Amino acid sequence: MNDIAVLGNGRVGGNLATVLTRAGHRVTTAGRTEGAAAEAARTARVVINATPGAGSLERLTALREELRGKILIDVSNATTDGPDGLPADLLHPGTSLAERLQEALPETRVVKTLNTMLYPVMTAPATLAHPPTAFLSGEDAEAKRTVRALLADIGWREEWITDLGGIRTARATEAAILFVPHVIRGGGFAPFAVSIAR
Cα-only R_g, the chain: 15
Domains of the chain, by residue range, sit at 3-187
Note the pTM of the prediction, 2 decimals.
0.95
Strand partners, 79: 90
115 residue type, one letter: N
The whole-number pLDDT of residue 34 equals 64
What pLDDT does residue 186 have?
Answer: 86
CA distance 132 to 154: 14
Which superfamily does 3-187 belong to?
NAD(P)-binding Rossmann-like Domain (3.40.50.720)
Contact between 116 and 129 (Cβ < 8 Å): no
Per-residue pLDDT of the chain (198 residues; tens, 9 = 90+): 789 999 998 999 999 999 999 999 999 999 766 688 999 999 999 999 999 989 999 999 999 999 999 999 999 999 998 888 889 899 999 999 999 999 999 999 999 999 999 999 999 999 999 999 999 999 999 999 999 999 999 999 999 999 999 999 999 999 999 988 899 888 888 999 999 988
User: Alpha carbon of 25 to those of 50, 112, 133: distances in Å?
Assistant: 17, 20, 23
What's the confidence (pLDDT) of residue 197? 87
Which amino acid would we find at residue 43? T
Residue 57's pLDDT is 95
